[in-house]
Each structure stands twice: as structure tokens, then as C-alpha cells.
Copies of this chain bind each other. A is one copy, B any other.
């Protein structure tokens, strides 16, 4: 049994290495990669079926790496290992998990025990393990109230990329007006309407304010934007 660790922080990498050795005595080979790209290469070369993946790496982030790994071998078991539980990450991961794949999502702040448990559960038992806190985010984002629907989220991303209504309409194959409707929903859900009781109307440019709020609520993060940007440039070429 072989395990691939993809993590750009040296300290965390060695800690993980340690944890893997301790939790999985049946594992006889641990390989490492310090960024998303080499992670993909290593996974391909070694045909790894077990991967521990950091999200948020500077070179190429974990979600993109995981996406290509899963595209090549959808039965790969991946344990995501992240600092934060931003809604953007949770959404990003959920979006790329293949049908029936087993994966886990644990935070770096969890105890040794939990990490080791997660390692065994995911890699040996083929069981999905999602950290309590992460689950919480998942619930909240889906759970109505202020949670964004997928449609709204997509619009949000396009807006955050800096596209005009017209451009979005074209990309999403909608009328201009529909796009604007979705924008209004978005504005309401994000509470963009003069939340600062103070002052008066017209203080905020709703469009940009929505992005700011989404960022501060961690519904979006720069990581997600990078991915979206790449997808956009990709799509423009065709």
C-alpha cells in the first residue's frame, strides 16, 4: 500500500508523514509532493490510490490537483486536509467529487487521534469522513435562509470575475433580464442593502459590494477565484 502526500508546508508535510506511518502500519511506501502540479505527476506515475491533499497551495491548489487526479482514476481515495473550512472550499470539493468516490475532509486543527482515525476510515474502510465543523458549513450553505443556491453561486462567481451582465447572459445562455434577476436575489441573500444602518442610500455599488461581502463571509475566496479565472480563460479559447 502506497500513500501520496501533497502539501506545500514542510512542517505539516513531515507531520503528516509521521501520522500516516503511525496510523497505517500496512502502508509500506509514502511519497510526497510539495505542490499541486507535482502532486498530479506523482499520482500518475505511482498510480496512487491513496492521497492526502492540502487545499490552498500557492503553486496549484488542491482542488485543481484533485480534479485531475480523479479524472484519471475516479476510484482514488483522497483525504483533504485544510486550514480552514471556508464555504468556498467545501463547495469546491463537493463540486468535483466523482460519483461514489470516497474522500474525507479534516481540518489541520483536529487532534492526532482524529486525523489517524480519518486516515484509517478513508483509506482502509473506504468510508467518507467529514469534519464536524465542515459539515456545519455544508448544512448552513444548503440550509435555505441565507445560503446561496447553486445558480446564485455561479452568478456570484461570474460577477466576481468581473464580467458584465451581458457577458454572463451569453455564457449562461440566459436573457439579460434573468441574469439581473439572479443578481437581485444574490444581493438580498448577501444583505447588500445598506447593512450599515448609518449613512444613507447609494453608498454601495451593489455589484462590487456583493463580492466584498462574499469574500468576508468566506463564501468566496481567492482560491476559488483562481480556479474560476482559469476556467474562464479556458472557455474563451473555444
Give chain A's interface residues, CB within 8 Å of chain B: 9-12, 15, 58, 83-84, 108-109, 159-167, 192, 196, 198-199, 202-213, 215-216, 221-222, 225-226, 229, 233, 236-237
Contact = CB atoms under 8 A, between A and B. Distances in A.
A202 B166 contact: yes
25 contacts: A9-B83, A11-B11, A160-B212, A161-B208, A162-B192, A162-B204, A162-B206, A162-B210, A162-B213, A163-B203, A163-B204, A163-B205, A163-B209, A164-B202, A164-B203, A164-B205, A166-B202, A167-B204, A196-B236, A198-B236, A199-B236, A207-B208, A208-B211, A211-B211, A215-B222
A84 B108 contact: no
Copy count, this protein chain: 2
Contacts of A161: 208-209, 212
A160 B213 CA distance: 10
A237 B198 contact: yes
Contact of A229 (B208, B210, B212): B212
A164 to B, nearest CB: 5
A137 to B, nearest CB: 14
A28 B157 CA distance: 51
Given A109-B10, A203-B164, A209-B162, A226 B222 contact: no
A12 B163 CA distance: 40
A236 B205 CA distance: 17
Contacts of A164: 202-205
